[in-house]
Amino acid sequence: LVTPIWKDRPAMACHKAYLYDIKYHGIETKEKIDMIREYMKVNNCDAHVITALDDIAWIFNIRGKDIESTPVVLAYALITMDNAYLYLQDDAYDEEIKNFLRDQGVIIKDYYDIFDDAYDLDGTVLLDLANINYELINKRVNDILNTKVSLNNISNKNLDYIMIEFYTLIAMACLYGGI
């Protein structure tokens, strides 16, 4: 969205992530993922999209230097009842991290694959509206609205109103913790 305007935008940070020793966190990644899946099950959720970098660092027991003075790596995560995915830039991990996460039942995917994977989700998705990335929901919302437009012959003026109403709901959820 800002790329056409911001011509000299610096590249996204990408430093090597590192494993956070179990002696400091005490709970293995697999156990944390199992706890999340239990929460998903109790709340009838099929998937959990995670965008908060501190949550990702805690769940996957990794740290990084992508944000100054904050030990996080730029990443997304997706946990379903069957799989756990961590979306990282190619240069952010090495074989040690890859092997560790594989042993914990985590599949590493390309950082940008989250957008298609989130779009393709079916069922109920658990996400934190206070931390959701606009781009993650925009494509899906536009498809839903465009389907309604074709089914109900909604005018462009009405479509604009629906979009404003939707984004207002998202903003309210971000500010007040729920709709």
Task: Please give the Cα distance from 41 to 48 (Å, whole number).
Answer: 11
Asked if residue 174 has pLDDT above 80, the reply is: no
Dump the DSSP string for 1-59: --TTT-TTPPPPP----EEPPHHHH-S-HHHHHHHHHHHHHHTT-SEEEE--HHHHHHH
More confident residue, 116 or 1: 116
What pLDDT, in 10s, does the model give residues 135-163? 777 766 666 555 544 444 444 444 455 55
Q: What is the pLDDT of residue 25?
A: 81
Q: What is the predicted pLDDT for the residue at 162?
A: 52
Mean pLDDT value of segment 29-47: 94
